[in-house]
Amino acid sequence: MSQTARGRFITLEGGEGTGKSTLQIALRDRLAGQGVDVVLTREPGGTPRAEAIRALVLTPPGGKPFAPLAEALLMNAARSDHLDELIRPALSAGTWVICDRFSDSTRVYQGVSGEVSPEALQSLVAHVVGPTCPDLTLILDAPVSIAQERRAARKGPKDAQDVFEQRDLDFHQSVRLAFADIARSEPDRCKLIDASRLPNEVADAAWSHVAQLLSSAEVH
């Protein structure tokens, strides 16, 4: 009896407005063109319970953000549910999963203040993710000014900003540097993509890595 091949797990990371959601759709279309079953999801969120936690963290009651440790715990609680209910069952069924933000975002966003140590964040994330580590993480990198212009162009003037979007330029610069550090420290899993280019050029660069994953999946 032949077993269904496990799907592959791809995560998209990077600061706000770098083009993660745009790339997610482009990769889904290209994979679908190769006959691959794909599910798109996001963090925090992806399941009803995790989406409820997303709302709590991004628009906290009273407007005051949770402290970084509380945020990290909530993000990981949401992730645990997301992994159990959506990501692992999909991968087991042979479906590929493309997730818009995942554990690297927790390490970056809840680590940037310095209030929670990188070791604590990494060990929490490792415990929750367990063996379900992404096969490939594409980290979108662009100057903060470009990403902010894109977001400004996308959003109407009345759109509410969430607790992360409201932070200042220094915060967003630190986020960019922290993602680049992760890419440097885990070069096998993480690929830094120059996201300042045209959407098609970004998708081509990303696709070169996804195509490698596809050919290795076909061999095994």
Ligand X SMILES: Nc1ncnc2c1ncn2[C@@H]1O[C@H](COP(=O)(O)OP(=O)(O)OP(=O)(O)O)[C@@H](O)[C@H]1O
Site residues for ligand X per CB under 6 A: 16-22, 150-151, 153-154, 197-199, 202
Q: Which of 214, 142, 220 is closest to 175 using CA atoms? A: 142
User: Among all residues, whose Cβ is closest to Mg ion?
Assistant: 21
Kind plus residue range of the DSSP H or E element containing 6: none
> Considering CB distances under 5 to 8 angstroms, the limit depending on partner class, which of Mg ion, ligand X, none binds residue 85?
none
Q: Supply the minimum distance, in Å, between the C-beta of residue 42 and ligand X.
A: 8
CB 171 within 8 Å of CB 112 = yes
Q: Smaller CB distance to ligand X: residue 21 or 47?
A: 21
Sites for Mg ion among residues 14-53 (CB under 5 A): 20-21
Among the listed ranges 13-21, 85-93, 117-125, 176-184, the one in contact with Mg ion (CB under 5 A) is 13-21
Q: Is 173 in the site for Mg ion (CB under 5 A)?
A: no
Q: Supply the minimum distance, in Å, between the C-beta of residue 37 and ligand X.
A: 23
Q: Is 148 in the site for Mg ion (CB under 5 A)?
A: no
**Distant-in-sequence, close-in-space partners of 66: CB < 8 Å, separation ≥ 6:** 57, 60, 74
DSSP per-residue codes, 59-101:
S-TTSPPPPHHHHHHHHHHHHHHHIIIIIHHHHHTT-EEEEES
